[in-house]
Amino acid sequence: MVPTVLILGIIAFGMIIGALAQIVLGRGGQGIDWAMALGAGLIGSFVGGLLVSLLAGDGLAFKPSGLIGSFIGAVLVTLVWRWWQGRSAPAPTTARRR
């Protein structure tokens, strides 16, 4: 039962961190994109949290450096995600009046 609770906790933490990243970066008048929050939170937490925690010398322990790295990683993933969405969106066309 503990692995199930751990997995749910990791998913919840990722969604919270991803949502915070969207709030900090601004949402453009829209609500939180929960799919982006989950993806950015999990990817950012894994990469950023692990990298900062290891660079700080904390190893894999649950320390503030890992939490800060998780947030920074989620912000970076959110920025890249938004850039990619804006890049791949079709250009708006304007109708010409005759």
**Pairwise CA distance, residues 31 & 34, whole Å:** 9
- Global pTM exceeds 0.75: no
In a domain, 98, yes or no: no
Position 96 in a domain: no
pLDDT of res. 20: 92
CA distance 90 to 47: 31
Residues 34-47 pLDDT 10s = 888 899 988 888 88
| Predicted pLDDT of residue 49 | 74
How would residue 54 be classed by pLDDT, with cut points 50, 70 and 90?
confident
Cα separation, 28 vs 31, whole angstroms: 8
pLDDT in tens, 1-32: 567 887 788 788 889 999 999 999 887 667 88
Question: What's the number of domains the chain is made of?
Answer: 1
Q: Is 95 a member of any domain? A: no
Nearest to 19 by CA among 57, 75, 98: 75
Answer yes or no: is 58 within a domain.
Answer: yes
User: Domain range for residue 52?
Assistant: 2-82
